[in-house]
Structure 1
Amino acid sequence: MAWFGKKDPLQIIGFQTYGTQEHIYARGRALEDETIDLAQKGTIQLLLNSWKRFETDEIRHAPLSMHLSDGRRMGVTTDDHGYFVLDKTVGDLGKLVNQENWLTYEISFDMENTRHQILGSNRFPGSLLIPSDDVSYGVITDIDDTILHTGVTSYMKWQVIANTLFKRAHSRIPLQGAAELYHQLHRGKTGFEANPVFYVSHSPWNLYRYLEFFLSANEFPKGPILLRSMASVLGMAAEGHIPHKEHEIGNILKTYPKMTFILIGDSGEKDADIYLKIAREYPGRIRAIYLRSVRRRSRTERVRRLTEQETDIPILVVDRSEEVAQHAKKMGFI
C-alpha cells in the first residue's frame, strides 16, 4: 500500500536486535497504527487484536532516520512490506550503552510535508544489544515449546492457531522454571554477569509485540528477538535458501567470532538437526546443547538417537528446567 495520501496514524516498531561497538544492525517495521492493547481483556477485543496483528497496513518505501543519543543520524528506507534493516559500520558505539549493554535510539519518518498523522512526536524508540567483550558466553534459544508452550508439534498446528488467536500474551504461561533458568545463565557463574540471550523463533514478525510482551511480562532477560517473514512462514521462500533459524544463528556467531554459545531448543521440530549442523560448522564455539522433550515420544527418541552420535560437546534432552540448571552448574556456566 502506498504511503502517500493516507491519513491514518503511523508508527515505527523498532525490533530488539544486536550489534557491536563498531557496527549497527537495526531492524523494524513502519505501519499504520492499529492501536493494539495487548493487556486489554475480552474475547471480542482479543479476536480483533489477533486480526490486526496479521492484517497490517505497511508503509512501503518510506525514508526513515535513526537518531543516536550523541547526535549522529543515519538514513534507511523501508521495503515493499514496510520493513527496514540498517546494517552499517559506525564506530564508537560502546560509549552509548547502558549498564546492561543496550544501546537505545530513536527512529522517525524523514518527511517534512505530509498529510500523515503521527502519534505524539515523530520519534519512536528502538534498542539493540552490544554485548561486553568479557562475557562468559552467549545463549541462543528457541521460543516455541522451549520456553512457551505453542503446540508447534500438534496435528496440523491447530494448537498454534488456537493459542495465538484465543490467548492473550500476559495469560500465556511459560514452561516451569524457564524464566529463572535464563536469568541464571544471563548472570553467569559469578551472578553479576550480563551474558547475552538471543531469542530465535519460527513465528512471523507480525507476532513480535505479542512475544516481546510475553517475555517482558514473565520477566525473562531482555534480549534480541529474531523472527521471520510471513512469506517464509507460508512456504514462499526462495528455493535453496538457508532455513531461518540456521541463518539467524549463523549471523550471530559471525558477529561475535570470539564468543562461545549455549543453544537451547526442543525435540519437536528441527532444532537438534540445526544445532548439530551449527556445532560442526563452528567447531569449538558451542559449549552445550539443551533440548526440551515434547509430548511426541517418536520425535524425542529420534532426537536422542541423533544426539548420541555427537561426542564433542554435551547434549542433553531434558524434561525440566532444573535438569538444565543442574548440568549448567556442573559445567561451571552458573
Structure 2
Amino acid sequence: MFSKNKDPIQIDGYQSYGTKDHLYLIGRALEHEGVNLEKTGFISAFKNAFKQFATDELRHAKLRVTLPDDSVFYTTTDAEGYFKVDEKVEGLGELTNSEGWLQLYVSFDDVDKDVVVIGKNKFPCEMLIPSQTAEYGVISDVDDTILHTGVASLLKWRVIFNTLFKDVGKRTSLKGAPELYQKLHRGKSGTAANPMFYVSNSPWNLYKYLETFIRNQLFPKGPILLRDFRGPFEKTPKPEKPHKQHEIRNILKTYPDLKFVLIGDSGEHDVDIYLEVAQEYPEQILAVYLRSVNHKKKVLRVQGVLKKYETTPAVLVEKSEFAEEHARSIGLIK
C-alpha cells in the first residue's frame, strides 16, 4: 500500500470529545509536507501556510487505533484522507488522565516496506471525556475571541495577511484571555477540570497552527472543531445550519446534564448563533459573553439585539476583566 508515495506519510489525529461509553475520533492521513511551525520569518510563514493547504491526502487507507488497554479498532480514510471512529465502547472513563483525556495511538495498518512513515507509524490522538465532577463547560469561538484575527476588517484582508504571513509564534491573544479561560477551566472551586471546546470556521488545514497557538498562549487544552475546506466547485450541499451552530448543538446533545458558557465576538454572526442556541437549550446555557470588536456598526447592532434578549445572561464586553467580573458575580469562578 502507498508504494508509489515518494514523500513520507503521516496521520494527524485531532483532539475530539466523547463519553465514557462512546469513542469518537477524527483525523486525517496525509503525505508529510514538511510544515515546521517553529521556523520564523516572513518567507517561512508563507511556505508553511502554502504547505498546509497544498496537501496530498491518502485516500482509502486502512488505519489501526490502539487504546491504552491495548484494545484495537480499525477505520478507513475517505476520498479526502479523513478518518472517523464512532464506536460504542464501555469503560473509557477508566482510561483517562486527571484532566479527562483519553490518549491513544493511530497507525497505518498496511504499509509497503519501501514507504517512509513519520514517527515510526505511531501517531497520538486524544479524546476528551468531561469529568463527572465538572462544574460546567466552555464553548469558545477562536477568531477575534482568543486570537487577534481581523475578521471584521474590510474584505477580511487582515485574516488573509495574518494567516499567510505571520508566524504562529508572533500571533497574539486578546489581552487577559488566557487568564480568564484558565479561571473558567478551574471553575468556582478553583480545582475543577471544566471542559473547554474551541469552535472556528477555519478549515482543518489550520488545525496544527491553531493547536500550537492555543498551547503557546497557555489557553486550557480542548477539542478544536474546524470545518472542511469547500472549494469553488464543491458539489456537496451546504449544511442547513452554520458550522459553529452545528458543532455547539452537538456538544450540548452529547452532554445533556452539563451546563455551558458560550464565548464569541460581535464581529461575525456569533450573537445570532449563540442566542438562538441559548433559546433552544435555555437550561444548559449559564451565560453568553461577546467580545466587542473594533467595528462601531456591528457593536451597535449587537447592543440592540442584547437589549431585547432575556433568556440567559448575555453580556457584550470590551475587556477580559469585564467578563471575569461578571463570571465571578454569578458564581462561575473563584
Report the TM-score, using the length of structure 1 for normalisation: 0.96
Q: CA deviation at 1:237?
A: 5.8
Query: In percent, how many aligned pairs have the same letter?
Result: 51
Q: Which runs of 4+ in 1 moved over 3 A?
A: 112-115, 232-237
Q: 1:151 to 1:57 in 2, by over 3 A?
A: same
The one-character-per-residue Cα deviations of 1:82-121 (angstroms, maximum 9, x if unpaired) are 1111111111101110111111000001105454211241
Is contact 2:10-2:30 (8 Å) kept? yes
The one-character-per-residue Cα deviations of 1:2-55 (angstroms, maximum 9, x if unpaired) are 955213101101111111100011111111011211111232222111110110
- Which residue matches 1:190? 189
- Stretches of structure 1 lacking an aligned partner (at least 5 in a row): none
Is contact 1:6-1:115 (8 Å) kept? no
**In the alignment, residue 255 of structure 1 is paired with which amino acid?**
T
**In the alignment, residue 37 of structure 2 is paired with which amino acid?**
L
Q: CA deviation at 1:239?
A: 4.0
Q: 1:223 to 1:239 in 2, by over 3 A?
A: closer
Is contact 1:179-1:220 (8 Å) kept? yes
DSSP-derived class of the 2:120 partner: coil
- Stretches of structure 2 lacking an aligned partner (at least 5 in a row): none
The one-character-per-residue Cα deviations of 1:264-322 (angstroms, maximum 9, x if unpaired) are 00001010100111111112110100000111111111111112221121110010000
- Which residue matches 2:38? 39
Is contact 2:66-2:73 (8 Å) kept? yes
1:69 aligned onto 2:68: yes
- Which residue matches 2:137? 138
DSSP-derived class of the 1:127 partner: strand
Q: 1:277 to 1:114 in 2, by over 3 A?
A: farther
1:118 aligned onto 2:117: yes
Q: CA deviation at 1:230?
A: 0.3
- Which residue matches 1:162? 161
- Which residue matches 1:102? 101
- Which residue matches 2:214? 215
- Which residue matches 2:249? 250
Is contact 2:2-2:111 (8 Å) kept? no
- Which residue matches 1:303? 302
* Cα distance in 2, alignment partners of residues 115 and 63 from structure 1: 17
* Cα distance in 2, alignment partners of residues 39 and 162 from structure 1: 19
Structure 2 counterparts to residues 316-331 of structure 1, below 5 A = 316-331=315-330
DSSP-derived class of the 1:176 partner: coil
* Cα distance in 1, alignment partners of residues 231 and 216 from structure 2: 28
Q: 1:153 to 1:188 in 2, by over 3 A?
A: same
Is contact 1:146-1:292 (8 Å) kept? yes
Q: 1:165 to 1:87 in 2, by over 3 A?
A: same
* Cα distance in 2, alignment partners of residues 234 and 245 from structure 1: 23
Q: 1:237 to 1:248 in 2, by over 3 A?
A: farther
* Cα distance in 2, alignment partners of residues 12 and 175 from structure 1: 32
* Cα distance in 2, alignment partners of residues 82 and 95 from structure 1: 31
1:19 aligned onto 2:21: no
Q: 1:233 to 1:209 in 2, by over 3 A?
A: farther
Count, aligned residues: 333
DSSP-derived class of the 2:305 partner: helix
Q: CA deviation at 1:169?
A: 0.7
Give the CA RMSD over aligned residues.
Answer: 1.6
Q: 1:323 to 1:219 in 2, by over 3 A?
A: same
